[in-house]
């Protein structure tokens, strides 16, 4: 890249620019979560505000330079060969309005940044399963997590986006301005601009009720089938987080309540009567922000292959058989298979009509995650993943933008009406396909 061209950006912004080969550049390459992706940008831009983002987008337009943006670095699409990367590490403010129960979230925040700040006020915004994931990417794709059944998806509680459009202009998107784009950003937020801040609704919640149970790998069929049976029976306040690994099945029974009610007790203790569980952690009232850090020590950055669809139906015998076979035949000791429960408020009619999120009727999201500890095993891991997901293809409803390598929009948003509407929005707000150009509309 022409050095003079690079220097021409510096006077336009207040943020930092890290050139290839610099110490800061090399540090940036190693701090993203998923390191198994080509990631050699010409340089890294660290904006300090939305003006910096807007000016850099204008500069990229003028000089015909591609770009991408990164927060936590879980999504392979946040890496780039050549071009430039926006690194939002300097934009991590969370501003809580305790009276109106809202918060402004900047694009560099991890989920834990949001949870730590809102918890000071006894408030919560539904995010994912871990605190180290980037909040921005999670929200833009919809946002599944431990509170999905009780509070809906992350995107359901975003009431305003500030967006840097493809021409570098700053547009406000809410229920009164650019309302067509509001629908598109809720579930397909990667494709229309760079979000410089989110305004979100908060809900009162300090603690949740949690109990943890473990089952050995040869004893997981009975509890899994029982969890599948229960899915349509219990209330929106109840959910289970389901994790399979080489050592067996771990189930977190979660109840959305500030106190241990009788229903909470029944929910959390029900699994004691199913199979032969090991009570790994007895029922307790746990600060929500603390619970969200439960998995962090087990999920460190490195090379990963991660993918998974939404399912059409609840847990059944065929699914259980496939998952058990998959775990037992993995080429390394690294797999984790996660079933995230949907339903409840995810199916709220007002959320359904106000967003493009494609999988409201899915009972579960299925996620295969393998850490690539040895590069020589990469192809085997990919083949293993593809083999078992292909065997479940008839049970899959659609892809999830946050956990898919799919490049065709109609395969992520499986309803033609939705994909056609998204194509119209793309042509209106990003006619030159600057944002996520690999996605075909």
Q: Tell me: the pLDDT tens digits for 27-77?
A: 988 888 888 877 788 999 999 999 999 999 999 999 999 999 988 888 777
Is the pLDDT at 79 greater than 80? The verdict is no
pLDDT bin (cut points 50, 70, 90) of residue 3 is low
Q: What is the pLDDT of residue 243?
A: 96
Is the pLDDT at 91 greater than 90? The verdict is yes
Task: Measure Cα distances from 178 to 161, 165, 297, 418 in Å.
Answer: 10, 12, 41, 18
Q: What is the pLDDT of residue 74?
A: 80
Residues of the chain with CATH 3.30.465.10: 99-204
Spelled out in words, what is the top-level CATH class assigned to the domain 99-204? alpha beta
Task: Give 117's contacts (C-beta < 8 A, 6+ positions apart).
Answer: 94, 96, 103
Q: What is the pLDDT of residue 29?
A: 86
**Mean of the per-residue pLDDT values of the chain:** 94
Is the pLDDT at 276 greater than 90? The verdict is no
Q: What is the mean pLDDT of residues 201-224?
A: 96
Q: What is the pLDDT of residue 75?
A: 78
> Any idea which residue has 């915004």 for tokens?
125
> Any idea which residue has 């809410």 for tokens?
174
Q: Which of 174-183, 259-268, 275-284 has the lowest mean pLDDT?
A: 275-284
Judge whether 210 and 160 are in contact, CB under 8 Å: no
What span, in angstroms and rounded, lies between the C-alpha atoms of 183 and 191? 13
Q: What is the pLDDT of residue 177?
A: 97
What span, in angstroms and rounded, lies between the C-alpha atoms of 236 and 232? 10
What percent of the chain has a predicted confidence (pLDDT) above 70?
99
Pair of tokens at residue 198: 């989110």
Residues of the chain with CATH 3.30.43.10: 3-87
> Any idea which residue has 């946002």 for tokens?
143
pLDDT tens digits, 231-240: 989 899 999 9
Spelled out in words, what is the top-level CATH class assigned to the domain 207-403? alpha beta
Strands (DSSP E) contained in 263-388 are 278-287, 304-307, 309-311, 335-341, 364-371
3-class SS letters over 100-121: CCEEEECCCCEHHHHHHHHHCC
What span, in angstroms and rounded, lies between the C-alpha atoms of 143 and 370? 21
The pTM of the full predicted model, rounded to 2 decimals, is 0.95
Q: Which of 78-82, 404-408, 409-413 has the lowest mean pLDDT?
A: 78-82
pLDDT tens digits, 123-159: 999 999 999 999 999 999 999 999 999 999 999 999 9
Judge whether 334 and 371 are in contact, CB under 8 Å: yes
Q: What is the pLDDT of residue 193?
A: 97
Pair of tokens at residue 192: 């229309």
Q: Within 248-356, where are the H helices?
A: 262-269, 288-291, 317-328, 349-353
pLDDT bin (cut points 50, 70, 90) of residue 407 is confident
What span, in angstroms and rounded, lies between the C-alpha atoms of 375 and 314? 35
Q: What is the pLDDT of residue 202?
A: 99
What span, in angstroms and rounded, lies between the C-alpha atoms of 113 and 297? 16
Give me the half-sphere count of Cα atoms (radius 13 Å) on the Cβ side of residue 299. 20
Residues of the chain with CATH 3.40.462.20: 207-403
What span, in angstroms and rounded, lies between the C-alpha atoms of 100 and 186? 22
What span, in angstroms and rounded, lies between the C-alpha atoms of 377 and 116? 38
**DSSP H or E segment with residue 254:** strand 248-255
Q: What topology does CATH give the domain 3-87?
A: 3.30.43
Q: What is the mean pLDDT of residues 282-289?
A: 95
Q: Which of 68-72, 120-124, 378-382 has the lowest mean pLDDT?
A: 68-72
What span, in angstroms and rounded, lies between the C-alpha atoms of 19 and 14? 16
Pair of tokens at residue 275: 């199979």
Q: What is the pLDDT of residue 9?
A: 93
């Amino acid at each position: 890249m022409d050095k003079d061209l690079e220097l021409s950006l510096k006077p336009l912004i207040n943020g930092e620019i890290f050139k290839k080969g610099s110490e800061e550049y090399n540090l940036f390459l190693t701090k993203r979560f998923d390191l198994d992706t080509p990631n050699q940008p010409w340089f890294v831009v660290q904006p300090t505000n939305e003006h910096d983002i807007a000016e850099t987008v204008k500069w990229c337009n003028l000089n015909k330079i591609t770009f991408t943006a990164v927060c936590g670095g879980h999504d392979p699409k946040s890496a780039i060969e050549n071009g430039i990367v926006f690194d939002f590490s300097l934009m991590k403010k969370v501003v809580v309005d305790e009276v109106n129960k809202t918060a402004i979230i900047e694009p560099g925040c991890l989920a834990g940044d949001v949870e730590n700040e809102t918890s000071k006020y006894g408030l919560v915004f539904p995010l994912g399963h871990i605190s180290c994931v980037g909040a921005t990417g999670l929200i833009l794709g919809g946002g599944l997590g431990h509170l999905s059944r009780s509070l809906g998806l992350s995107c359901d509680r975003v009431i305003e986006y500030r967006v840097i459009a493809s021409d570098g202009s700053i547009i406000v998107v809410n229920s009164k301005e650019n309302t067509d784009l509001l629908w598109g950003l809720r579930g397909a937020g990667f494709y229309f601009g760079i979000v410089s801040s989110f305004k979100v609704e908060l809900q009162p919640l300090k603690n949740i009720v949690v109990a943890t149970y473990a089952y050995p790998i040869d004893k997981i069929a009975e509890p899994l089938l029982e969890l599948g049976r229960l899915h349509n029976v219990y209330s929106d306040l109840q959910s289970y987080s389901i994790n399979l690994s080489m050592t067996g099945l771990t189930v977190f029974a979660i109840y959305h309540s500030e106190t241990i009610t009788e229903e909470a007790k029944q929910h959390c203790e029900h699994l004691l009567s199913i199979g032969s569980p090991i009570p790994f952690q007895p029922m307790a009232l746990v600060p929500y922000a603390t619970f969200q850090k439960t998995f962090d020590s087990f999920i460190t950055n490195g090379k990963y292959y991660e993918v998974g669809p939404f399912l059409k139906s609840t847990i059944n015998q065929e699914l259980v058989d496939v998952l058990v076979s998959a775990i037992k035949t993995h080429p390394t000791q690294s797999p984790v298979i996660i079933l995230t429960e949907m339903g409840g408020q995810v199916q709220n009619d007002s959320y359904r009509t106000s967003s493009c999120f494609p999988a409201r009727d899915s009972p579960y999201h299925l996620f295969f995650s393998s850490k690539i500890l040895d590069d020589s095993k990469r192809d085997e891991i990919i083949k293993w993943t593809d083999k078992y997901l292909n065997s479940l293809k008839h049970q899959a409803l659609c892809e999830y933008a946050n956990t898919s390598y799919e490049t065709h929009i109609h395969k992520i948003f499986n309803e033609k009406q939705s994909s056609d509407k998204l194509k119209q929005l793309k042509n209106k707000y990003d006619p030159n396909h600057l944002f996520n150009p690999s996605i075909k509309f």
